[in-house]
């Protein structure tokens, strides 16, 4: 089903038929696949450096893996449970699976052609080659054989399947060889599985230039060493995908959340299989054997795999591993390195607290340095004898040494340190558990949040004894406290000592670490308590302004727009005359540009060198504009099932920078894709105008081309 057909399925009714159950709404899963298609298009874009194109192909592949592990697996469970269609989505779960299958098959065809017909030949022309064992010279073969004998053979374990050997457990996303073996004495045929170890490099260097043999080929060429005396007739590569989400939302309140999540992380290793990927030329007999054996090992939650759940792939499976080749040190084939700027407010500061007392500071990563802002703020708090307490939320950690060192040094110095670590951060659970235990061992107070309510807010609260009394310094951001992703994701953060925001954060931390039903916040909008109501109130206020003839304007930037109630409010605003621009990187269920419904709404998606991650909103408010940044996308889970924060940016001097960043995104004709009324994304072109790329502009000027820093001044108490 193409995007036009999906849009037709949504009904696209006019305003007279816009009830709570029937209004234009694009399917979430297909919208996500459209986003991943835009990622794949970066791999095809000749303007992108060659190894960066390879990187995008790898990202497309790992994105698709996660989509199957979580979203497709969840839909399969809904189908098995007989779940109905959920309004306003136009497709029932079973229909979604069919549409997903068609769309994924199309995308896999495009990926195959991109790799086979474009990327691999172009890489070869630059001396980077994936070669077969058969193409190696004698010296190269001897070198690879020595590598196999020393490093590969000792870790391989062939597992036969026969009455004495049950079908082996196969781990999620691991590459395996299905080996057809014949006993030359009895003539009997056997099947064996050999796992391709993830502990070894996927691409084995042949020792001359950038030439590599896939590890599975190295193993396949030496299978006789695993089965001496047997005839290895042929072998084929396959891979499975398992359901990998956690089920904490279905659980009663556990006595020990950390222990419960540890158990679930272990148990998901045995989740049901939701996808089988095989080499395209795998014989029908081996293919059927895999389907039958994997089906028998399934849980009762879903139906067994069928042929419809099998993806035929060309010779190479697990293309996410291409990311290691994309990191090769060939500067002329990669993006020019980017060095983040030190935020101007902090460049010559001897004391960050003095700067923040004088004015609010807004930072923009990765264009401005994470280490000289967020990490420096934590280090200053740890080393300052006047700091009494540090409180912090952590969603996705990377074991950042600077953050760990700052927090542990603060605790060892006798400061009160409390950290809320979200154990339920998807696919980072094990890492966060380790991080939590490490911090507890240093005497840091660690809290874990609650089942069914993820703490996704990005906040730091530092309590300091200043000469004029106790003051709270805060950082509220849009992105994770993770130095690695801070170099790759676009995010913003506010440093302030505004006493009202400090009081709000104190209340928030008390509710997270203690026992509280906090519902009131002064300026901070917090999910699930107040955020949904606040966003609706802001949209409806613009609607009222437009109806009263005062105009109306909304610009909002986010990762995903899914929430039906918010979408209905935006449609009503458009019908009232509000002009709305949305910068939505990924999923967008809203249909823009429909006459009488959303004709004043425009949607663009920006895909490029950095992952667009910041959430920013602007509301004209009849000439008294308001600006917000926050951690939440406009999705039901963010409003209802997560702890999120959205903070007003009140300093007018900072508004110019936010205006410039939003204007840069909206003017983009290099990285931007426009969503049409037919549900199709089309890439903007700069053919008839100078090329304006968001990331190129912001690398040069982190706040667009606007001077955004306020003059130093005394803050009102």
Q: With 0-12 CB in 10 A as exposed, 13-18 as middle and 19+ as buried, what is 629?
A: buried
Instruction: Tell me which residue of 228, 230, 153 sits closest to 194, measured CA to CA.
Output: 153
**CB crowding 258-286: b at 16 or more within 10 Å, else e:** bebbeebbeebeebbbbbbbbbeebeeeb
Q: What is the 3-state secondary structure (H, E, C) of 150-200?
A: HHHHHHCCCEEEECCECCCCCCCCCEEEEEEEECCCCCCEEEEEEECCCCC
Residues 6 or more apart whose Cβ sits within 8 Å of residue 256: none
Which residue carries 């054996």 as its tokens? Answer: 293
**Cis check: omega of the bond before 88, within 30 degrees of 0:** yes
Which residue carries 């960066």 as its tokens? Answer: 52
Which residues of 369-517 form beta strands (DSSP E)?
387-394, 416-421, 445-447, 454-455, 459-466, 469-477, 489-496
Residues 6 or more apart whose Cβ sits within 8 Å of residue 287: 278, 310
Q: Rounded distance, CA 211 to CA 220, Å?
A: 18
**Cis check: omega of the bond before 508, within 30 degrees of 0:** no
Q: Rounded distance, CA 98 to CA 588, Å?
A: 20
Q: Rounded distance, CA 178 to CA 714, Å?
A: 71
Determine contact, residues 539/570, Cβ cutoff 8 Å: yes
Q: Reduced to 3 states, what is the DSSP secondary structure of residue 396?
A: coil
Determine contact, residues 301/73, Cβ cutoff 8 Å: no
Determine contact, residues 523/504, Cβ cutoff 8 Å: yes
> In degrees, to the nearest 5, what angle opens at C-alpha 357 toward C-alphas 351 and 363?
75
Q: Using the 8-state DSSP alphabet, how is residue 481 labeled?
A: S
Q: Rounded distance, CA 325 to CA 459, Å?
A: 36
Q: Reduced to 3 states, what is the DSSP secondary structure of residue 386?
A: coil
Q: In the numeric block, which tokens belong to residue 595?
A: 């006459």
Determine contact, residues 97/77, Cβ cutoff 8 Å: no
Q: Rounded distance, CA 179 to CA 177, Å?
A: 6
Q: Is 456 among the residues known to form the active site?
A: yes
Catalytic residue among 7, 210, 311, 456: 456
State which H helix or E strand residue 86 sits in.
Answer: none
Determine contact, residues 365/493, Cβ cutoff 8 Å: yes
Which residue carries 């507890």 as its tokens? Answer: 440
Instruction: Tell me which residue of 220, 223, 213 sits closest to 238, measured CA to CA.
Output: 220
Q: Rounded distance, CA 495 to CA 473, Å?
A: 7
Q: Rounded distance, CA 534 to CA 517, Å?
A: 18
Q: In the numeric block, which tokens belong to residue 318?
A: 């697990």
Determine contact, residues 587/31, Cβ cutoff 8 Å: yes
Q: Rounded distance, CA 219 to CA 196, Å?
A: 8
Strands 601-606 and 611-612: unpaired
Active site residues: 456
């Amino acid at each position: 089903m193409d995007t036009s057909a999906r849009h037709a399925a949504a009904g696209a009714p006019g305003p007279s038929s816009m009830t709570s159950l029937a209004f234009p709404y694009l399917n979430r899963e297909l919208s996500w696949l459209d986003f991943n298609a835009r990622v794949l298009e970066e791999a095809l874009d000749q303007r992108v450096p060659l190894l960066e194109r390879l990187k995008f192909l790898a990202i497309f592949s790992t994105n698709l893996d996660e989509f199957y592990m979580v979203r497709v697996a969840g839909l399969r469970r809904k189908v098995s449970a007989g779940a109905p269609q959920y309004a306003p989505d136009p497709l029932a779960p079973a229909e979604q699976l069919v549409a997903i299958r068609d769309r994924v098959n199309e995308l896999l065809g495009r990926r195959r052609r991109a790799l086979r017909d474009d990327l691999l030949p172009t890489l070869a022309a630059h001396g980077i080659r994936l070669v077969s064992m058969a193409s190696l010279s004698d010296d190269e073969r001897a070198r690879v054989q020595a590598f196999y004998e020393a490093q590969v053979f000792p870790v391989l374990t062939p597992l036969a399947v026969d009455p004495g050997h049950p079908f082996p457990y196969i781990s999620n996303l691991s590459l395996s060889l299905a080996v057809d073996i014949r006993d030359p004495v009895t003539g009997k045929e056997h099947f064996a599985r050999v796992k391709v170890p993830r502990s070894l490099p996927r691409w084995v260097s042949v020792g001359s230039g950038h030439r590599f043999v896939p590890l599975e080929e190295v193993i396949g060429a030496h299978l006789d060493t695993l089965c001496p005396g047997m005839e290895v007739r042929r072998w084929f590569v396959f891979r499975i995908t398992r359901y990998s989400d956690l089920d904490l939302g279905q659980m009663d309140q556990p006595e020990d959340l950390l222990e419960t999540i540890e158990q679930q992380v272990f148990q998901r290793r045995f989740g049901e299989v939701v996808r089988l990927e095989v080499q395209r030329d795998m014989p029908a007999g081996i293919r059927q054997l895999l389907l039958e054996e994997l089906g028998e090992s399934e849980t009762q939650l879903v139906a067994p795999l069928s042929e419809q759940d099998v993806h035929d792939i060309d010779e190479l499976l697990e293309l996410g591993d291409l990311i290691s080749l994309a990191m090769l040190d060939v500067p002329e084939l990669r993006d020019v390195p980017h060095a983040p700027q030190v935020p101007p407010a902090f460049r010559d500061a001897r004391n960050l607290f003095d700067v923040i007392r004088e004015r609010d500071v807004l930072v923009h990563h990765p264009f401005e340095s994470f280490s000289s802002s967020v990490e420096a703020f934590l280090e200053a708090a740890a080393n300052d004898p006047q700091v009494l307490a540090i409180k912090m939320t952590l969603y996705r950690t990377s074991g950042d040494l600077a953050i760990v060192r700052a927090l542990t040094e603060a605790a060892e110095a006798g400061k009160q340190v409390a950290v809320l670590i979200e154990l339920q951060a998807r696919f980072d659970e094990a890492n966060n558990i380790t991080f939590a235990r490490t911090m507890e061992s240093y005497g840091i107070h660690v809290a874990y949040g609650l089942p069914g309510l993820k703490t996704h807010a990005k906040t730091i609260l530092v309590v300091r004894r200043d000469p004029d009394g106790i003051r709270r310094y805060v950082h509220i951001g849009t992105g994770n406290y993770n130095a690695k992703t801070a170099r790759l994701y676009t995010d913003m953060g506010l440093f302030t000592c505004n006493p009202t925001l400090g009081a709000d954060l104190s209340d928030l931390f008390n509710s997270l670490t203690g026992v509280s039903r906090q519902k009131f916040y002064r300026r901070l909008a917090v999910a699930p308590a107040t955020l949904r109501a606040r966003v609706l109130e802001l949209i409806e206020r613009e609607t009222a302004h437009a109806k009263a003839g005062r105009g109306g304007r909304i610009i909002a930037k986010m990762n995903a727009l899914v929430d039906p109630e918010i979408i209905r409010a935006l449609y009503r605003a458009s019908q009232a005359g509000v002009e709305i621009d949305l910068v939505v990187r990924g999923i967008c269920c809203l249909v823009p540009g429909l006459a009488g419904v959303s004709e004043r709404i425009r949607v663009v998606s920006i895909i490029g060198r950095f992952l667009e991650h910041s959430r920013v909103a602007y509301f004209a408010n009849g000439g008294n504009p308001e600006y917000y940044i926050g951690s939440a996308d406009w999705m039901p889970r963010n409003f209802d099932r997560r702890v999120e924060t959205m903070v007003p940016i009140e300093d007018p001097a900072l508004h110019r920078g936010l205006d410039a960043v939003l204007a840069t995104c909206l003017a983009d004709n290099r990285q931007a894709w426009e969503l049409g009324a037919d549900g199709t994304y089309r890439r903007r072109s700069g053919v008839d105008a100078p090329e304006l790329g968001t990331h190129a502009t912001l690398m040069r000027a982190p706040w667009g081309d606007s001077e955004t820093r306020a003059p130093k001044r005394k803050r009102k108490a």
